[in-house]
Chains A and B, each alone.
Chain A
Amino acid sequence: MLSDALLHLYRLMMRIRVFEEKVQELHKLGRLPGFVHVYLGEEAVAVGACSVLRRTDHITSTHRGHGHCIAKGADVAPMMAELFGKADGYCKGKGGSMHIIDTSLGILGANGIVGGGIPMAAGAGLADTVLGRDGVTVCFFGDGAANQGVLLEALNLSAIWKLPVVYLCESNHYMEFTPTADLTAGRIYRRAEPFGIPGVEVDGNDVLEVRRAAAEAVDRARRGEGPTLIEAVTYRFAGHSEGEEAFVSAYRTEEEVESWKARDPVTCFRERLLAELPDRASELDDIDDAEQASVEAAVRFAEAAPFPPPGQALEHVFAEAGA
């Protein structure tokens, strides 16, 4: 890979990292209403996968969607404004954290109904097929969501119709506060096998590994050979949702959390870049500074933005009738 491209992967991971850390901070200060689920620790999955997509390709996202949206090109300023419930947010304040969407970037929406994005991804793939386009859709979903029956329906549809969809399971070992292993028979990636489609497991903390697996799956999809199921094994550093310490006692051991933090996808990749591209070390610092600054600017944008006027509550229930 060209070193510029490597630096770009780093930049996006850092953008997610800084954004989410800021979200945590704001939430602690009581500045963000509602529920927020952050993506800390899983940055390599979204960035690795989206790095092989074109702007015209699509993704479906989840309740833990900030990372997916940033990796697919979303602007952190309207994202932040949406989290504040402001009129300049991606959804004009109507959705909040779990609802970020930007169809112009191929982001088909985060989804608070867990599993909701899975069949939509099949539909996006079917749409590209019907329309004769060579687009690909990446469907992000969690290991908890993998137990919604609709995953099997979507895999079957995608297999029989050879849809250009990559199902990407973020296997972070937990569904909320219960270990996935207690709730899940077998390995998720092996659910591909009976459908006759490839099922692969990758190290979800290694952005280049994710990128390699995603590239293979995306190429296959674009060639018209159908879907792939990838299980990216990773870990969330933060709680299931922000503020959970107030109501839940520890459900993960400190050793477990620390062992994953030792494999931090962002810092590990940074170290690797430093080792492989020593002459560009200062650029990494520049990236860190720039991302920090852009997130600070996003917060200022969000704070300055107005709340939507109450009358807006009644608007946009229907699309404007077609002319």
Chain B
Amino acid sequence: MKRSPAGTGENFGFSDAPSATATAAGGGSEAVMTYLEAISDALRTEMRRDPDVLVMGEDIAGSFGGAFKVTKGFEEEFGARRVINTPMCEQGFVGAANGMALMGLRPVVEMQFADFISTGFDAIVQYAAPNHYRWGAPVPWVIRAPSDGGIRSGPFHSQNPEAWFVHTPGLKVVAPSTPADAKGLLISAIRDDNPVIYFEAKPLYRSIRGEVPSGEHTTPIGKASIVREGTELTVVTYGSIVHQSLAAADRLAGEVSVEIVDLRTLKPLDTGTVLASVRKTGRAVVVHAANRLAGVGAEIAALLAEEAFEYLDAPVARLGGLDTPVPFSPPLEDAYRPDQAKITEAIRRTARF
């Protein structure tokens, strides 16, 4: 997989710039795609396979195809009954997705930005999440939530609100970092009988491309992946920060042997993979773009304290966004976000402890 530094895109994928030519690779079984194209590909694959799958959201139909163009051309192929332009009323259309899912459909709702998910919060946490537990009735929807920042878009277009949903029983939460997983996790999310929040990292949309299996490629929900093997320290991360972590590890090659666990699914958490890696290396740095306090990293750190205490040679280091709203001004946002330099520093500190 080729990488360019995440989060430096001039317009973070808004532009309709030439898409990665999805040329079929060996045996027609793989194609090189951007992260964004992989999301579209997953949706298209599932909509072709299953007539119950449909997409809904603001401005997603027609030639526009959504703020980030994920569903461009979908209305043409699948028709207006399955590519539904909604008014701006998140509480209303997430609530409607609940109703549709109860009726057996599989709506995939596009939140224009993950930040606006709070406007539909009640429909998610009070209805979708506990419905199976209290009624025995599944709610098989997916909400696609374009999250993450580094793109100077200020407090309301840069958030990483995954912790709210990880904390809510009944929801599954995924956050792919590669094109292949972007496709595989979205297909798995659509097929899952539970409500799944799918966090897609805006800074990755067009900044990374990679090989993506064609057709019905799935990535199991609940399974982390080791994206870099190492022996001396484990970085546990997900989303766009996987790429910052890989870059930091590359920079430290020869100094510290770093293993990187890409969680991919935030709930249910693959505790086995995390524990096995840290028991092997004896040191851990946990890092994500979301703010640190009570974030997913806190859960990982607690897990390591409970289940890997005797293997640890250093305190678990935890990095995240600052515990502030996401500031607009470039130097403030840079201070806010964990980046390659901060990760490198945390790895060194932990390795030397």
- Chain A residues with CB under 8 Å of chain B are 33-35, 85-87, 91-99, 112-115, 144-145, 147-149, 175-178, 182-184, 243, 246-249, 251, 307-314, 317
Contact of A94 among B11, B62, B67, B332 (CB under 8 A): B332
Interface 9-residue window, one of B87-95, B249-257, B309-317: B87-95
- B154: chain A residues at CB < 8 Å are 34-35, 95-99, 112
Q: With contacts A33-B152, A85-B330 known, what are 14 further pairs, Cβ within 8 A?
A: A34-B152, A85-B152, A95-B154, A147-B87, A147-B88, A178-B61, A246-B11, A247-B16, A249-B63, A249-B64, A307-B329, A308-B332, A313-B322, A313-B327
- B141: chain A residues at CB < 8 Å are none
Nearest-neighbour CB distance to chain B for A46, whole angstroms, equals 21
Q: How far is the CA of A317 from the CA of B153 in the complex (A)?
A: 19
Q: Is the CB of A94 within 8 A of B14?
A: no
Total A-B residue pairs with C-beta atoms closer than 8 Å? 136
Q: Is the CB of A94 within 8 A of B88?
A: no
Contact of B329 among A85, A113, A248 (CB under 8 A): A85
- A93: chain B residues at CB < 8 Å are 327-329, 332
Q: Is the CB of B85 within 8 A of A182?
A: yes
Q: How far is the CA of A287 from the CA of B46 in the complex (A)?
A: 60
Q: Is the CB of A112 within 8 A of B327?
A: no
- Chain B residues with CB under 8 Å of chain A are 11, 14-16, 58-59, 61-64, 67, 69, 85-92, 115-116, 118-119, 152-157, 322-325, 327-336
Which has the most chain B C-beta neighbours within 10 Å: A91, A182, A247? A247
23 cross-chain CB contacts under 8 A: A33-B152, A33-B330, A34-B157, A34-B328, A96-B152, A99-B154, A112-B155, A113-B118, A113-B119, A114-B88, A147-B92, A148-B91, A149-B91, A149-B92, A176-B67, A178-B61, A182-B85, A243-B14, A247-B16, A310-B334, A310-B335, A313-B332, A317-B323
- Chief secondary structure at chain A's binding surface: loop
Q: How far is the CA of A86 from the CA of B328 in the complex (A)?
A: 10
* A113-B116, A308-B331, A310-B335 known; A246+B14 contact, CB < 8 A: yes
- B333: chain A residues at CB < 8 Å are 313
Q: How far is the CA of A175 from the CA of B85 in the complex (A)?
A: 11
Which has the most chain A C-beta neighbours within 10 Å: B61, B119, B153, B329? B329
* A148-B119, A175-B87, A313-B322 known; A248+B64 contact, CB < 8 A: yes
Contact of B335 among A34, A176, A248, A313 (CB under 8 A): A313
Q: How far is the CA of A93 from the CA of B328 in the complex (A)?
A: 6
Nearest-neighbour CB distance to chain A for B298, whole angstroms, equals 18
Q: Is the CB of A96 within 8 A of B328?
A: yes
Q: Which residue of A lies closest to B156 (CB)?
A: A112
Q: Is the CB of B15 within 8 A of A247?
A: yes
Q: Which residue of A lies closest to B85 (CB)?
A: A178
Q: Which residue of B lies closest to A251 (CB)?
A: B64
Q: Is the CB of A175 within 8 A of B157?
A: no
Q: How far is the CA of A308 from the CA of B329 in the complex (A)?
A: 8
Nearest-neighbour CB distance to chain A for B274, whole angstroms, equals 30
Contact of B14 among A247, A249, A307 (CB under 8 A): A247
Q: Which residue of B lies closest to A86 (CB)?
A: B329
- A94: chain B residues at CB < 8 Å are 155, 325, 327-329, 332
- B332: chain A residues at CB < 8 Å are 85, 93-94, 308, 310, 312-313
Q: How far is the CA of A159 from the CA of B98 in the complex (A)?
A: 31
